[in-house]
Amino acid sequence: MSNGQWYPPEWPDRIRALASGELTVVPPKRAATVMLLRDGAEGPAVHMLRRRVSMAFAGGAYAYPGGGVDARDSRPVRWTGPSLRDWAGRLGLDEASAQAVVCAAVRETYEEAGVLLAGPTPDTVVSDTTGDDWEADRQALVDRELSFADFLDRRGLVLRSDLLAAWARWITPEFEPRRYDTWFFVAALPEGQRTRNASTEADRTVWIRPAEAAAGYDRGELLMMPPTVSTLRALEPCGSAAEALAAARQQDMTPVLATAELVDGELVLSWPGHGEFTKRIAPGGPR
């Protein structure tokens, strides 16, 4: 391929099976991911991790910290920032579900990158999350021994939803066996905090300018899924993390779901509004 698009070899057969009615569609699991930014001399850089090749889903692909919504993410939490009503409207969800998605975004960023978007008061943010006690709590969250609500209560912290902004929503194609309905958020790295590779699912993390990451994809050097490439390209014009947060208000949150069809025997896979990712496989192509 001329670029680094993640395109599993089994997709054509699965698409054909879906078209013939032989494939049962799996309901997508809700998920959240965060494009964490920090400012630099040449503009903002985004924190990315490379998923281990052994991972069943998107192995070897570069992505952002994130993961599935846990049932306990809907528990009431200490909260500041936009109201749940405002978040519900922006995310296209009811208020309880909106809270769960936002909590998942903050929790997963802490679990996978060690960065916490929370503070002792509504206008402060934790400046340091290192140390054995912090690591013990982070691991307890990862192991699901501690809910995020209990974690915040234990430390007397308030979730800073105002430090996040919703950017996009993508849904895994219907022919995939593992499907996610994922909300993408943008946030700035809090002053004093630093990222680290705290995820067992990643073998590498980098800070990279969006344009540089997208160029690496175009050259076929960095493997990525369409949502990652699309969000990187959308971030390129932003000259700072603050500009990105402001620009998020104008981003379209209409869910993007790939469509697959057979046209005169040719298999056509496309993502509405994102023509660069369209794939065409001629009759007799990969099976």
Question: Which tens digits make up the pLDDT trace of 47-66?
Answer: 999 987 655 566 688 999 99
Q: Which amino acid is at 194?
A: R
The CATH number of residue 232's host domain is 3.90.79.10
Residue 283 lies in a domain: no
Do the domain assignments include residue 102?
A: yes
Distances in Å between the Cα of 146 and the Cα atoms of 2, 136, 140, 166, 228 are 45, 10, 5, 26, 30
Per-residue pLDDT band for 1 (boundaries 50, 70, 90) equals very low
What one-character DSSP code corresponds to residue 179?
A: -
Q: At what angle do helices 226-235 and 210-218 cross, to 10 degrees?
A: 140
The mean pLDDT value of the chain amounts to 91
Residue 284 included in any domain: no
CB atoms within 10 A of CB 261: 12
The three-state secondary structure class of 66 is strand
The residue-averaged pLDDT of 255-269 equals 86
- Total domain count for the chain? 1
- How far from the centroid of its chain's Cα atoms is residue 74's Cα? 19
Is there a domain that residue 159 lies in? yes
Q: CA quadruple 144, 74, 244, 235: dihedral positive or negative?
A: positive
Output the six-digit token pair for 181.
């309905």
Angle among Cα 126, 127, 129 to the nearest 5 degrees reads: 80
pLDDT tens-digit readout, 116-168: 999 999 999 999 898 899 999 999 999 999 999 999 999 999 999 999 999 99
How many Cα atoms occupy the beta-carbon half-sphere of 7 within 13 Å?
A: 18
Parent domain of 181: 25-250
- Which residues partner with 227 through β-bridges? none
Residue 71 domain flag:
yes
